[in-house]
Chains A and B, each alone.
Chain A
Amino acid sequence: MKRKISRTTIFVLLLMGAVIMAFPFYYMVITSFKTSTFIFSTPPQLIPNPATFDNYKEVWNMASFSKYFLNSTIIVIPAVLLNVFLSSLTAYGFARFKFPGKELWYTVLLATLSVPGILLIIPQFNMISHFKFFMDNKFTIILTSGIGGIAFNAFFLRGYYESMPVEYEESAEIDGCNAFQTYFYIALPQSLPAIASLIIMSFLGVWDDYFWPSLILRSKDNWTLPIGIMALRDQHSVQWNLIFAGTMISLIPVLIIYFVFQKYFIKTVSEGGLKM
């Protein structure tokens, strides 16, 4: 009986916590369905009445979010693939190969983590702005996001590769695989659970990035979603209903990616990393 009560208390407390945490998000969702008249009404409306899709329509068509959505997608897919590929390659190299100064290089790589990203923006921009080709070009963002964050990702994956039994790779070598084949066909598939988390992180980083893309992508035709959302802010006023509708649009792929890869992540773990 006593146990039941304490369980109920915990459940109620957790539920309250969840409600408090989710409320701002809920408020964003409902505001995106409100007309501007009801955003600040007192008492606040908790269920939009009248509910309207007009904000979404306006943002999608008038404010060209359809275009920004496409641009974001065009950038994020190759960037994440490149990023994950290069990161795992780096991590695998440090985990499995012996070469002179290996730990020194690894330390140097990790040391770059202590430099705040914002500090690098000016020199990076300075280099890129000298080449007209790279300015206002989505390819630049694919490239820079693709190689960004490798230090942390390699750190994250190296331990995973080191903890994997080396026997599989040895037998692959005996069967005639070269180093790249061993990595690609044997090690990479085994590390998929870790790769899945890496994809989530890398996706979020590229998808949400604002400042760097805003420096490079100048024309509206090349804008990504975060730049589009910022452009809805006026100097003196903010149309929250439009901003939230825009934010909701940019949030959907994040939720999808998160759910898809989280499920995959759990599944791979429960089946055991070796059963591929």
Chain B
Amino acid sequence: MKKSLVVIFVLLLCVFSFAAKELVLWHSYSTTSGEYKVLTEKVIPDFEKTHPGVKIVETQVSSDEMRKRLVVSTASQDFPDLMRMDIIWVPQFGNIDVLMKLDKEFPAEFNKMKDEFLEGPLSTCKWDGNYYGLPLDTNTRVLLWNKKLFNEAGLSHPPRTMDEFFEDIKLLTKDNDGDGEIDQWGFADSGLGPWNSIPWIYSAGGEILNSDNNTAEGHVNSKQSVAILNEYKELYDEGCISDIVTGSGGIGALEGYAENIYAMVISGPWGHSIIKGQYPDAEINYALMPAGENGSRSVVGGEDIVMFQSTKYKQEAFEFMKYITSYDVQLEFAKVGQMPVLKSIADDPFIRNHDYFGIYMQQLKTAVARSPHPAWNEIEDSIATAWEDTVIGDYDAKDSLDSAAEDIEDILSEY
């Protein structure tokens, strides 16, 4: 009897000690996307092959729901081991001390690999002097201009300066069927939040916070920040910017661009597959964001890969982070439309000969990261409210930005 118990115990011990180390990875790739295919059919199996005993369990969480999921997770301290996290959340979760400080935990390795990443994306991992992740993918928004409509209006090239931009928007707004109502707009965008407005604000010489991310007064309501909001408002009031920016009905920005209804839109690299998926014959023309007082500036988007402090398998998790940001894997993801974050990959023939990565890479050089701050979500709301109040609600641009500055100062004072 005693002997059989010992045998069972030893057997159990064996099972447990040989059981795979399971690492849970959260991400938001839709289950029908090319990226999901690469992740589940190539990246994870290849990693598991070269790291016997480690199992990566991927869990998809819809991007709209990810925030709520993280709130519940934080409340009950139930985190995955790894996550592909939106760059703007990294400082927030770093600040509440749930993410692993990579430069503290793996100093030698981290410092060695740090310089391989593009600076913009790498900066999104940093908060309060520490690095909380590795960049995984990046993107920005560039101008898409409709050549056919430009030619019809007698224009031969996309706007290069902000002044040309405003002028072209007006010239390209028309009433084609003569019923007294505008049916072709010079510009359209999906909203009025900072993701949409930063290219306008920063190109025109405006700002949101100072470079240390601790002051809003005099930046979010600087002379240039106010002037560009006034300009936007004027264009909107003249009917030159489609109503869809306010969230009211109308054909989507990219769809309208392909249908020759909107002459110019601003879009990230995903615009290509969205347009081509619905309009295989549509011609897409790219240009840099028109340059203003501060040059051609756009907004940085993307995701970082982060490790949670609660993980039981630090070393294995770090191995996976290194693997998913390695040259080959980055290239594999690039082939399905995700922009890489390694400096060295820009010279790869695939990237160099790519239809549209070139222009995005060029725009990225001067693109602005949304201020890496734990309270970015609140700051974002304040700016969006100010723009909406002025554009839709007819509030004076200076007044709404002054009040945004006040709100943001309040928010910043808590950190």
Which residues on A are within 8 Å of B, measured CB to CB? 36-37, 39-40, 42, 58, 62-64, 121-122, 125-126, 129, 211, 214-215, 218-220, 228, 230-237, 239, 242
Would you give the shortest CB distance from B136 to chain A, in whole angstroms? Answer: 13
Please name all residues of chain A whose beta carbon is closer than 8 Å to the beta carbon of B261 when the two chains form the complex.
Answer: 42
Which residue from chain A places its CB closest to the CB of B31 in the assembled complex? A231
Interface residues on B, range: 20 to 34
Could you say which of B30, B69, B75, B252 contacts A231, with CB atoms under 8 Å apart?
A: B30
Given A63-B31, A211-B68, A232-B31, are A237 and B270 neighbors across the interface (CB < 8 Å)?
Answer: yes
Please name all residues of chain A whose beta carbon is closer than 8 Å to the beta carbon of B273 when the two chains form the complex.
Answer: 237
Cβ contact within 8 Å between B65 and A126: no
Q: Give Cα distance in the complex from A239 to B270, angstroms.
A: 13
Please name all residues of chain B whose beta carbon is closer than 8 Å to the beta carbon of A36 when the two chains form the complex.
Answer: 277-278
Please name all residues of chain A whose beta carbon is closer than 8 Å to the beta carbon of B65 when the two chains form the complex.
Answer: 211, 214, 230
Which residues on B are within 8 Å of A, measured CB to CB? 24, 28-33, 57, 59-65, 68-69, 72, 75-76, 78, 251-252, 255, 259, 261, 268, 270, 273-274, 277-280
Given A37-B278, A37-B280, A40-B255, are A125 and B32 neighbors across the interface (CB < 8 Å)?
Answer: no
Could you say which of A122, A218, A239 contacts B32, with CB atoms under 8 Å apart?
A: A239
9 contacts between A and B (CB under 8 A): A37-B278, A39-B278, A42-B261, A63-B32, A122-B72, A214-B61, A220-B60, A233-B30, A236-B268
Please name all residues of chain A whose beta carbon is closer than 8 Å to the beta carbon of B28 when the two chains form the complex.
Answer: 235
Number of A-B contacts (CB under 8 A): 81
Would you give the shortest CB distance from A54 to chain B, in whole angstroms? Answer: 12
Cβ contact within 8 Å between B63 and A235: yes
Given contacts A37-B277, A234-B29, A234-B30, 7 further A-B contacts (CB under 8 A): A39-B278, A40-B259, A40-B278, A122-B75, A231-B31, A232-B30, A235-B28
Could you say which of B62, B68, B69, B279 contacts A37, with CB atoms under 8 Å apart?
A: B279
The 8 closest A-B pairs by CB, nearest first: A126-B76, A234-B30, A236-B270, A230-B62, A40-B255, A235-B63, A129-B78, A231-B31
Q: Give Cα distance in the complex from A101 to B252, angstroms.
A: 60
Given A39-B278, A239-B32, are A129 and B60 neighbors across the interface (CB < 8 Å)?
Answer: no
Given A126-B76, A215-B72, A237-B270, are A42 and B32 neighbors across the interface (CB < 8 Å)?
Answer: no
